[in-house]
Chain A
């Protein structure tokens, strides 16, 4: 089986982000640390486990973004992906999910992947749609929020459970090729092994410029980013640590939560 894992690089914490008044978009300051989207770590781990069960399998990690995303692709190779594919896109402002998805679809279209896996969402913009868009553009079946995967080698299909509201699961049997997006908790992502770290150090990434791919025209734009309306925030409790603790104790008695 040939598997493509789509990985997004995200800022480690939203606390280092700032609004850039001139571009109206979010900028990263020098203290911003980037890492792999956690949901995509689960996607990569699932691909690596499928390879362990079926040794003929290859796992390719792909990411779309500026130069800095190469560090996250290295991390994917350190975890065990056979190679890293960097779809280089310089734009660091609002990027439409359809741009990212059509870049991935354009790259994958002629390369014969049996399975494309990605995380259920990105932690930063939580759009929950890149995987589904890739599937729709390539006209492949897809399943979202997958919590169990079983590759049935006897008939080449994929059995998955998708998680819906309240933890209920729907079992599906899918023809391959297909796209799945995985939910957190499906596995425990591994740490890099020393041999993979050494391999990743010397192995070059495959670099593809986004201009050389077939990109669907954008269908929406971002007209601005704002801090949320502070009027809908709760009451912040002032004082020292102990004063706040005493205030909360008082509240709990007042509202009769404590005798």
Chain B
């Protein structure tokens, strides 16, 4: 069954995200090189529609309405469904972002489609995703005619512009409907630690530190490097051991250090999303099959509470 592929583009501060271009690559991989159609939703998005059409050559559905300025579940779901729900067999691809994972299940129910989230790759018509903290990968095969999926950020290289004729742009005016949810406002993050953003070396702690006292090992190791900072995975911030300003990952900060030392971090996808720009990753973890080792350059299978003291001892010798 050949499904007609659509991608749902995402804008952040009016700019087309990198993830959107990754979805174009993903869709071409699925459809044997054929370009997907792009669903671009928002208010005053003519410029972005033209940019996408020129950069990718894809056909663009420019779905607009005053009520679509900021993402809202019910409005976006209705607007997108207006275009795709009449197709007998569609594959709708969203980024696995806060928007994509909010929207995909509702769209799937509306379309009576299979819903598969956090997909990493596709082999033929089988979608591959990680389960059990990245220890295994599951192969999911759709049964329904239509499919809605979300694709992990970074799972695919972004589409690179090539010389191609710009894709046609179809304008769709979305009709506002009374919703049961109202947007009250947008709040910028309370904490943003520029130390983590600007550091050349980040020593990061995860649940594996075990006790709050052990954070002194992380601090001491970080202190050896000029321009360094201590980072953390989300659980440590949730427990109040480190400030949220130090949280690295999809809901925290995205960092681009020259060296990232992950200490006792399992490597959940949300964390890994924040360190894709790191040049060199060294991980220390007791579990040889921890997912963090799959994205690390060098893997040290040790308990950080015994390993770091020995490392510090050696570093002090100069």
A interface residues, Cβ below 8 angstroms from B? 11, 14-15, 17, 19, 26, 94, 97-98, 123-129, 132-133, 135-137, 140-145, 159, 161-175, 178, 183-185, 188, 218-228, 232-237, 241-242, 244-246, 248-249, 251-252, 255, 257-258
Contacts and interface: CB of A to CB of B under 8 A. Distances in A.
A132 B294 contact: no
- Which A-B residue pairs are the 9 nearest by beta carbons? A167-B189, A136-B109, A132-B105, A185-B238, A219-B114, A219-B144, A171-B184, A220-B114, A164-B98
B187 interface: yes
Given A185-B237, A235-B297, 15 more contacts: A132-B106, A141-B73, A162-B102, A167-B191, A172-B183, A185-B238, A219-B114, A222-B141, A225-B137, A225-B139, A234-B296, A236-B288, A237-B299, A248-B298, A248-B311
Given A257-B225, A258-B224, A246 B189 contact: no
Contacts of B136: 17, 19, 26, 225-228
Interface stretch (B33-41, B42-50, B275-283): B275-283
A178 B180 CA distance: 9
A177 B300 CA distance: 50
B140 A166 contact: no
Contacts, number: 251
Interface residues of B, number: 98
A98 B235 CA distance: 28
Contacts of A142: 73, 102, 106
A237 B118 CA distance: 31
Most chain B Cβ neighbours within 10 Å, of A169, A183, A185 = A185
Interface of B: 12, 70-71, 73-74, 96-99, 101-102, 104-106, 108-110, 112-118, 126, 130-144, 147, 179-192, 201, 224-225, 234-235, 237-238, 240, 244, 247, 250-254, 258-259, 268-269, 280-283, 287-289, 293-302, 306-307, 310-311, 313-315
Interface of A is mostly: mixed
Contacts of A167: 189-192, 244, 247, 251-253
A39 to B, nearest CB: 10
Contact of A219 (B113, B188, B297): B113
Contact of A123 (B73, B133, B280): B133
27 contacts: A17-B136, A125-B132, A136-B109, A161-B187, A162-B98, A166-B251, A167-B190, A167-B247, A168-B187, A169-B186, A170-B71, A172-B184, A174-B180, A185-B238, A220-B115, A220-B116, A220-B140, A220-B141, A222-B140, A226-B139, A234-B281, A235-B298, A236-B300, A237-B299, A244-B300, A245-B310, A258-B224
